[in-house]
Amino acid sequence: MSWKLGLATILLLLSVLLLPLFCRERTDPSLSELPGFAVYERACVRCHGGRGQGRKASNIAERPVDLASPAFRDTARVESIRDIVARGKGKMKGLEGTLSPGEIDSVSRFVLLLSRR
Ligand code: HEC
């Protein structure tokens, strides 16, 4: 194999391996002014999606999980969201070991704003 072909193969492999990094789910940038955005981006977006619209979370849960849905908006209270984030619910693990109480509070408020938009 010529060195050019070898190089091309390596580059192709690298781009395939790196592709998921660039396609990673990001939080909707128009929400970036809201407090809690950074925590959501760090701890929630990989399952709940850029606008709370489920995807991964829906695949893991037995039912659709959409944090921006009217159903969620009409029933969610910041106290219960805080509780779910801290202690978990169903297939979602609690995050009180990873997030500070302040972060849990701000991300819970952020989630409520997602559904009120
Ligand atoms: C590893 C994936 C994962 C991560 C990370 C994650 N969640 Fe979840 N979340 C889920 C799943 C799955 C459910 C559904 C749980 C069930 O009822 O079975 C869920 C449920 C919820 C619910 C309840 C929704 C409802 O309608 O009952 C809230 C609120 C929530 N998550 C908020 C958050 C927040 C805020 C974060 C970040 C701090 C977060 N989640 C991080 C997977 C995740």
Distance 45 CA to ligand 1 centre (A): 10
CB of 35 closer than 6 A to ligand 1? no
Over residues 85-107, mean pLDDT: 96
CB contact set of 112 (below 8 Å; sequence gap of 6+): 76, 78, 81
The 10s digit of each residue's pLDDT in 6-60 is 999 988 888 877 766 656 778 888 888 888 999 999 999 999 999 898 889 999 9
Site to substitute for ligand 1 among 39, 45, 53, 89, most atoms within 8 A of C-beta: 89
CB contact set of 87 (below 8 Å; sequence gap of 6+): 94, 96
User: Looking at beta carbons, which pairs linking 18-24 to residues 24 or more positions away fall under 8 Å?
Assistant: none
pTM of this structure = 0.83
> What per-residue confidence (pLDDT) applies to 23?
62
d(Cα 85, Cα 77) in Å, to the nearest integer? 12
Would you say 66 and 52 are in contact if contact means Cβ atoms under 8 Å apart?
A: yes
Closest ligand 1 atom, CA of 110? 35
Task: Please give the DSSP secondary-structure letter assigned to residue 93.
Answer: E
CB of 112 closer than 6 A to ligand 1? no
Whether residue 84 is predicted with pLDDT greater than 90 in this model: the reply is yes
CB of 91 closer than 6 A to ligand 1? yes
* Overall domain count for the chain: 1
d(Cα 54, Cα 61) in Å, to the nearest integer? 10
Distance 111 CA to ligand 1 centre (A): 10
d(Cα 86, Cα 99) in Å, to the nearest integer? 8
In a domain, 38, yes or no: yes
In a domain, 79, yes or no: yes
d(Cα 52, Cα 68) in Å, to the nearest integer? 5
d(Cα 116, Cα 111) in Å, to the nearest integer? 9
> What per-residue confidence (pLDDT) applies to 20?
62
Over residues 86-91, mean pLDDT: 96
In a domain, 11, yes or no: no
Domain around 53 = 24-116
Domain with residue 100: its CATH number is 1.10.760.10
In a domain, 64, yes or no: yes
Question: Tokens 């704003």 appear where?
Answer: 113
